Structure 1
């Protein structure tokens, strides 16, 4: 699905990632850890084609990123749902309209998808807030809305960048439960986080592989996590 082979990425003249190799298998669950500034967000961007490696090869569903056009990337991105760290929304649209935005951008008729949207908002516990504007949402509601927006196109892969970074422990558990449920539906999930407690909690419910970025390299983290 997503394959990185000896990938490196340089930024501002310095190498941020070096000799990174990974294959994300269908239905797998990964955590990505490492200190702030280690390159977790950069790594995720390489995984969904937002960045092109400066060395090595990145393949998305069998296609080499370097050989893909902008349209190719856009089509592949429909199969990869991304939960961004900053949860950006259009403040003049309701929460439900923001969640449905990928449908509009991809040419779908949101009205024909209304039942799916209703079911998704209910699954995320957001039905009472469907008509609220983004500034009216709490941090936890924004994160759940970001997750709903990422999965509205029913992607094969979900990449989440610090999805629990700005919420309390109870909401972190709620978000983790949603991601575990997605994995049980057959989705491949990767969560970038520095929260070791979240990783320990997840391991009670799902077989997760824990990866760590250290000294520009990607390593399998210790079994004591």
Structure 2
């Protein structure tokens, strides 16, 4: 699905990532760990094309991302769902409308997708909050809504940046269960997190691979911590 070969990224004269090589095969489940500021978010942004490598080669779905024009990149990004750490929503839109925004942007008929949207909101446990505005949501509800929005287009890959960082342990477990279910449906999943306890708890449910960023480089830690 996504392949990085000797990828580096520098910004403002400083090197953030160096010589990163990793492959995310179809249907795989990866955790990305490392201390704050180590480059986890940067690596995720490279994976979905928000940043361009300053060195090396990055391919997604068999295409070199450096060679894609704007329209080609937009089509590729529809195959990658991203759960951002900050969970930004449009406060004047109802929750269901926020979750459906990717459909609107892609030009799809939201009326014909209404059944899928209802099913998705039930899946994340937000069916009763359809008409709620974002400021009325709890932290856990916002995270589940962010996950729903990320997968509304049925992407092949799901990238999540600290999806459990602002919720309690019980909600963390619920969010992880949703991500595990997506993986069992065949989605490739990559989760950036600093919570090693969460990784250990998830390993009993699904085969995982742990990647660790240290000193700007990526270490393949396998399934063990």
Distance 1:223 1:31, change over 3 A: closer
Q: 2:6 aligns to what?
A: 6
Give the TM-score normalised by the residue count of structure 1: 0.99
- The corresponding residue for 2:221 is 221
| 2:96 maps to 1:96 | yes
1:109 and 1:196 mapped to 2: Cα distance?
A: 41
Deviation at 1:15, TM superposition (A): 0.4
Gaps of 5+ in 2: none
Q: How does 1:140-179 map to 2 (within 5 A)?
A: 140-179=140-179
Q: What is the DSSP-based 3-state SS (H/G/I as helix, E as strand, rest coil) of the residue aligned with 2:159?
A: strand
Taking the aligned partners of 2:224 and 2:192, their CA distance within structure 1 comes to 18
In structure 2, the partner of 1:49 is 49
The offset of 1:54, in angstroms, is 0.2
Q: Distance in 2 between matches of 1:146 and 1:137?
A: 12
**Secondary structure in 1 matching 2:167:** coil
Whole-angstrom distance in 2 between the partners of 1:48 and 1:149: 16
**Distance in 2 separating the partners of 1:68 and 1:129:** 39
- Check the 8 A contact 2:100/2:110 in 1, yes or no: yes
Q: Is 2:76 aligned against 1:76?
A: yes
C-alpha distance in 2 between matches for 1:140 and 1:39 = 25
For residues 140-198 of structure 1, the C-alpha deviation after alignment (integer angstroms, 9 at most, x for no partner) is: 00000000000000000000000000000000000000000000000000000000011
2:92 counterpart SS class: coil
CA distance in 2 between partners of 1:32 and 1:169 (Å): 19
**Considering only aligned residues, what root-mean-square deviation do their CA atoms show, in Å?**
0.8
Identify the range of structure 1 (120-129 vs 60-69) with the bigger mean alpha-carbon deviation: 60-69
Aligned length: 225
Q: Which stretches of structure 1, 4 residues or longer, exceed 4 Å deviation after superposition?
A: none
1:199 aligns with 2:194: no
2:212 corresponds in structure 1 to 212
> How big is each residue's C-alpha offset from its partner over 1:114-156, in whole Å with a ceiling of 9 and x where there is no partner?
0000000000000011100000000000000000000000000
User: Quick check: 2:6–2:56 contact (8 Å CA) kept in 1?
Assistant: yes
Is the partner of 2:115 in helix, strand or coil? Answer: helix
Structure 1 residue aligned with 2:116: 116
